[in-house]
Amino acid sequence: MDQLRLIVLIALSFVSLMLWEAWQRDYGPAPVAETSDTEAEAPDKTLPNIGANPSSMAAPSAASTAAAAVSPIAVESDLLALEINPVGGTVQRAALRQYPAGGDIGPEPYALLDDTLARYFVYQGGLKAISGEGPDHYAPFTTTADSYALADGQNELSVDLVWQNASGVKVTRTYTLTRGSYAVRITHRIENTGTAPWSFNAYEQLQRQHQDVKQYFIQTFTGAAVSTPAQRYEKFTFDDLTDTPVSTDAANGWAAILEHYFVSAIIPSAEPTAHYYSSVIDDNRYLIGYHLPQTTVEPGASLSLESQLYIGPKLQKTLAQVAPGLELTVDYGMLWFIGKLLYWILDRMFAFTGNWGVAIILLTCIVKGAFFPLSAAGYRSMAKMRRVQPRMAALRERYPNDRAALNQAMMDLYKTEKINPLGGCLPILVQIPVFIALYWVILESVELRQAPFIFWIHDLSMKDPWFVLPVLMTLSMWLQTRLHPAPVDPIQARVMQVMPFAFGAFFAFFPSALVLYCFVNNCLSIAQQWSITRKEEQKT
């Protein structure tokens, strides 16, 4: 039947779309650079170590080698546990105290930044002097203590690192952590007590080692992103950074490195125009950052510069408050407008129930209720098709070799019985975008990470460890196909029999939250379709 062909085609199209999106993320074309090739490749003569040629800033030096022997400064707030290296003031480790690492690591806090060789990901920044020495991320700083902690009742914690040269220039770099926030405020206070002007460029950068982890079925983005007022969210895979380095100027922007559920972002103050750049170091180490225009502090003068470093989960409401467009790192793909609505409903249901699994069930009921009239029309059409199956089989026997006559006779039958042969497919067509959007909501929502549901399901973002939900979903799909009109064509009949089990095997590796949605949706559809089919059959 044409209707069943369309259902199979839609299912295959959905799977193909997901595979295409995964292929695009891994092998899609690189973004077009905003500057010419000549401009991107030309070194910045006034900034030999930043901008278009930042790699020399990241290369090993005597100071960086000595940094390994220096004990880091431990800084703890209620959400973050940082390690800051006094050599360069580099944030070499940042653990998220509210997010256990899980897996083989266990319940220890997840380290988003980490300077170990297995996962090298650090924050670097400072002031690069135009001539002479400056407090860059190789310079030695001094501090009054080797550990700091946010005390009970204390709202902010500040850590001062001081650098001073023989010419009378003193720079105090202050890291300020705020209770309940993953955003770290970074302030540079420059005091020139010497007799000569002192010029510098402020810069910040994130440096990460690329880990080539193969992903199957569930594809998530790991790479860099840059935001400007002209384009609020532009992401780059690590291969993109190799082929086309970032080189753009903008005010009121930010740069970040993303991974599944988490993001690290450097956010300059909104006023100055920053130059955003990227570089590749040693083939598998990548760097993205920005530097500000040259600044001069006259003798006897002082100046303060401020920026933010966000190190934490992709929490939409939090990110939107930190910087414009930072919430876009929660990427719902091309159907983001549907995804945002679904997340809003899901978040409200969680606030009501306190359980993300129950919230998904309620969301499914709401979505199903919204499509109830459309689904009812489709199921009535299916019921009518089911009722006239014997007459359709008789027509096929009457015209076994005359395709044109068979089609005309079937169209006459549809017209007489007031049947729309495509009516049963319309609900499926409408719900596919919602399903795809919900797929990305579940995949991108850090709230579901390690969120328990019931009994054996302790993490809704992972596959069902006992495959109970995939089996239930398969059975519900099989039962639903039994309510559909039986195909006359034996090939179509076999396809319809196999499809529930094929989808069940495919979904066995999907997040249990998504499988839960499918199972509940199938159960509601079965109840609705059975009720409508029974009413239509009673009319005969």
Q: Kind of pairing, strands 198-209 and 262-268? A: unpaired
Alpha-carbon gap, residue 454 to 151, rounded angstroms = 36
Question: How many CA atoms are closer than 13 Å to the CA of 376, on its beta-carbon side?
Answer: 8
Bridge partners of 125, per DSSP, are 204
CA 87 from centre of chain: 33
- Tell me the domains of the chain and their CATH numbers: 2-18+339-538 (no CATH), 31-211+220-331 (2.70.98.90)
How many CB atoms are located within 10 Å of the residue 318 CB? 17
Q: Kind of pairing, strands 295-297 and 223-227? A: unpaired
Three-state SS letters, 105-173:
CEEEEEEEEEEECCEEEEEEEEEEECCCCCCCCCCECECCCCEEECCCCCCEEEEEEEEECCCCEEEEE
| H or E element in which residue 156 lies | strand 156-164
Token couple for 255:
């740069």
Residue type for position 58 = A
Along the 540 residues of the chain, how does pLDDT read in single tens digits?
444 444 444 455 555 545 444 444 444 443 333 333 333 333 333 333 454 344 344 444 444 444 456 899 999 999 999 999 999 999 999 999 999 987 656 689 999 999 987 789 999 999 999 999 999 999 999 999 999 999 999 999 999 999 999 999 999 999 999 999 999 999 999 999 999 999 999 999 999 998 765 555 567 889 999 999 999 999 999 999 999 999 999 999 999 999 999 999 999 998 889 999 999 987 789 999 999 999 999 999 999 999 999 999 999 889 999 999 999 999 998 899 999 999 999 999 999 999 999 999 999 999 989 888 877 777 777 777 767 777 877 887 788 888 888 888 888 877 777 777 666 666 677 778 988 898 899 999 999 999 999 999 999 999 999 999 999 999 999 998 887 666 656 676 677 788 889 888 888 988 999 999 999 999 998 988 888 777 766 665
Q: Are 4 and 484 in contact (CB under 8 A)?
A: yes
| H or E element in which residue 385 lies | helix 372-387
Alpha-carbon gap, residue 267 to 185, rounded angstroms = 10
> What pTM was computed for the model?
0.82
C-alpha dist (Å) from residue 466 to 338, 471, 503, 509: 31, 10, 17, 11
Three-state SS letters, 388-400:
CHHHHHHHHHHCC
Q: For 83, which DSSP code?
A: E
* Sequence-distant (≥ 6) Cβ neighbours of residue 38 within 8 angstroms: none
